[in-house]
Amino acid sequence: MSSLHAPRPPVSSITINAVSLDILQQQHADLRRPPASLTKLMTAYTAYDLLAQSGGSWSDMITIDPRDVHEVADDETRMGLVPGESIVLGRLLEGLMVVSGNDAALALARHLAGSQAAFAQHMNDHARALGLHDTHFISVSGITTPGHLSTARDMAILAAQVLGRYPDLLAITAQRRFVHHTLHKANQNALLGEDGVDGLKTGYTQAAGFCLAATARRRCAGHALPLRLINVVLGADSRVSRDDQVRAQLDAGFASAGMADAQRA
């Protein structure tokens, strides 16, 4: 059977406590596979780090290089950047996380590291430092690229690190809509607002299937303060299937966390 018609690997998933990193559920969590636009969790993490190193600010203005518009294929997601326009860096972060703009990813990479390759090297350095042993980045946007791979476990750990180190990103991922020039687009995370879900990142390519790193904060039996969980699903065969799995796994995760605390009491 040719690779073109090879069946997609089984769905990978994991649910963890966002603070303790305790695992509440996992299935094929260490299967290496394309992470699609969940890649942008590391793009954002790296952008925060490089911006801090440079002494810059998200309010800095930059000019969009035409290459960062023209190098994005017609079938890729965009935030609608225009060559030569001036834009605040923070706006690129919104376009990256709310509507998964690949043009935003390229613009951030070029501005902060000089090139996509240099920025991806920083991404891989962070992956090693965070213990993401089954992850390797080549693209800053998550387009299908040979050797660009991760796992549900690594993506969940990355999501927890992003939330822990850069908590203000959560408010961006919770935005329901994004407007830039003539582009008016909804956040593709249809779970936002359901039972405490307030982020984080969707993804889809034909090779990766439908992917989602979701986080929710709810009151839970046995916990004085609301509990935050992270659930990652990679490789679902439809958006509906992906969302249903995330809903069910978050519900089960919160129930499991409460039950575990009740048993320890």
Q: Point out the residues that are catalytic.
A: 37, 40, 100
- Mapped onto helix, strand or coil, the DSSP state of residue 89 is helix
Instruction: Give Cα separations from 107 to 116, 168, 224 (angstroms).
Output: 9, 21, 43
229 neighbors 18 (Cβ within 8 angstroms) = yes
Strand partners of residue 16:
23, 230
Burial of 131 (0-12, 13-18, 19+ CB in 10 A): exposed
261 neighbors 223 (Cβ within 8 angstroms) = yes
The dihedrals phi and psi of 259, each to the nearest 5 degrees, come to -65, -40
